[in-house]
Structure formats: structure tokens, C-alpha cells
Amino acid sequence: MPTSLLRFILALCLLPLLWTAADARAVSSPDLGTALPGRTDATYLDLAKMVIPDLAADKNGFFRGGPPIHMRHIEGADSGGSPPETSSLSSAAVLTIRAGGKDRLAMLFDLGGASDSAEGYAVLALYDIAAKPRLLDAVNVAVDRSTSFRDPGKIAVGAGEDVLIAMSTHFNSNQGYMATPLIMVRDDRFELIDMIYTFDENLCAYRRTQTIAFEPVADQPRAAIRATVTDTTAPSDESCDEAAPKASSHDISVTYHWDKKASRYLKNSDAFERLAAENANRF
């Protein structure tokens, strides 16, 4: 077989790996003092100050300020904790996205939470940085103590549309709680598609984990999104007071289809609500 043909076949085989690597690098965490890509007139700190107006660097390389500007919670007016009285951070999670056919920048600031609240406070901000940077929208996306983008951070559902994936978590000695919001951008404003709750246990006799994966499914005018939670129980080899359960693994899937008439994503099942209720009984 000619060498050139071998190289071509090898390149085709490597393409999925290259796409995966690109997705893994999609979220970055630049120092806030860094200039925006290709710019000398604006930094990430300038963007952050649109959310925390008095944010400034201290002598230790951290950035400190007061509370963020007022904003809604992604789940609605009755959700979300209080913002902290002071903000402190060294960087933010940054993600370039496409929304409405336009280039946009999303930044996620995990600010912790108020001293009297067990729930954190995390700002997801949307910017237009094509010319003079503008803050387009900002929402609190925290539903638990620690919040970040979830790898790969976004899913392309069309040539000019990305859906964002975040996660909000907390852990104790043998349990892990996680909420995964799926978020779209409509008219330069964030909009929740769904909130998916999963729960992990690590006990003497077994470990039970619930991992989640997303994939776009060809559809028009926007791709559908298939979300799959894999619920796995793995018995341990430890000597425990309780009997170890049998090893098991099963998938729970929900597909979100774009409904043109309703102009939003609709899910084809309430399986994740039933999973959340089952998990709540195990807390």
C-alpha cells in the first residue's frame, strides 16, 4: 500500500482523538491580569469587573472585591443562595462559544457563598468581545458548594450554537452530590434546559457511582442532545458488617429535542426526575 495512502488512513483514524483533545482543552483558566487574545486594550480583569465592580489585585496575586452585581438564578426567582459579602479569586474558567451564529465568551466565577449559607454562589457571565467588551448577561448557576464547567464545557448543536454544561457539587466522607445544569443561550441570555442530579456512594461493602455523558444527535434546526447516566455498583473485597451487593451497571438516558413550535428543548422522558427521587431516598 502506498505510503501516502497509509498516512491518509492514519489521519482519518486520529481525527476523533484530535476532536476529543480539542474539547478537553476548551475550558481555560487564565490569570485575570492576562490580556484578551489578540488584544492589548482589555484584560480578563476588565471583564470580571463588569460582574464585581470593585475587584482589584492585592499584593499576593489574588483579586479581591465586594459582592457581585445583582443577578437572577438560572433556575428562577425562588432559587439560589446569597452572594458573599466579599469576593476573592485568582482566575476564572473561560470558554469561547457560539450563540446565535456569533462568537461569544463565557466566564464562570466560583465565589463561594455567604457565611450563613451552605449553598455556594457562582456567576456565569456572557460577553461580546468583538469590539469594546460588553457584558450581555450574568446568572448565578450554583446549586451546591463548588461550581465549575463540566468537561467538555459545551456541546455544539448547530453551526452557530453551543449548549453549556456546568456542575455544582459537594462531598462528605462517603457521599458525593452533583447537579449538572444544561444551559443554552437565546438572544444573548442564558436559559436553563434542564438540571440533572446524580449521587455517588463509597461504603465499606461497595461503591456506587453515577457518571453522565452527553452527545449531540443529528436533528434540525438544532441537534438533539442525548444525556446518559451510567449507574454502576461495584462490590468491595473488604470485610464489612453488611453483605456486598452484586456487581451491576445500567444506563439511564434522556433525549432533549428542539421543539420549533415551543422554541425550546423538550425531553422525551422523566427518567432523571425518577432517578433524583430514588437518590434522595438514599441520602
CA-only gyration radius of the chain, Å: 21
Q: What is the pLDDT of residues 203-229, one digit of tens each?
A: 999 999 999 999 999 877 789 999 999
What whole-number distance in Å separates Cα of residue 138 and Cα of residue 68? 10
281 φ, ψ (degrees, to nearest 5): -75, -15
Q: What three-state secondary structure class fits 3?
A: helix
Q: Judge whether residue 11 has pLDDT over 50.
A: no
| Count of C-beta atoms within a 10 Å radius of residue 161 | 21
Residue type (1 letter), 212: I
Distance from CA of residue 25 to its chain's centroid?
A: 14
Q: Which residue has the higher pLDDT, 223 or 20?
A: 223
- Beta strands (DSSP E) in 159-276 are 161-171, 175-186, 189-202, 206-217, 224-235, 248-259, 264-267
Averaged pLDDT for residues 179-203: 97
Percentage of the chain beyond pLDDT 90 is 70
Q: Please, what is the average pLDDT of the chain?
A: 88
CB 255 within 8 A of CB 226: yes
pTM for the predicted model, two decimal places: 0.87
C-alpha distance from residue 122 to each of 4, 6, 167, 208 (Å): 51, 49, 11, 28
Q: Is the dihedral of CA 156, 194, 181, 280 positive or negative?
A: negative
pLDDT, position 191:
97
User: Which pairs count as long-range contacts for 206-209, CB under 8 Å and 24+ apart, including other chains?
Assistant: 206/233, 206/234, 206/235, 206/236, 206/244, 206/245, 207/233, 207/234, 207/236, 208/232, 208/233, 208/234, 209/234
Averaged pLDDT for residues 33-47: 94
Tell the burial category of 120 from Cβ atoms under 10 Å away from its Cβ (0-12, 13-18, 19+): buried
Q: Which residues contact 115 (CB under 8 A, 6 or more apart)?
A: 84, 85
What whole-number distance in Å separates Cα of residue 149 and Cα of residue 107? 9
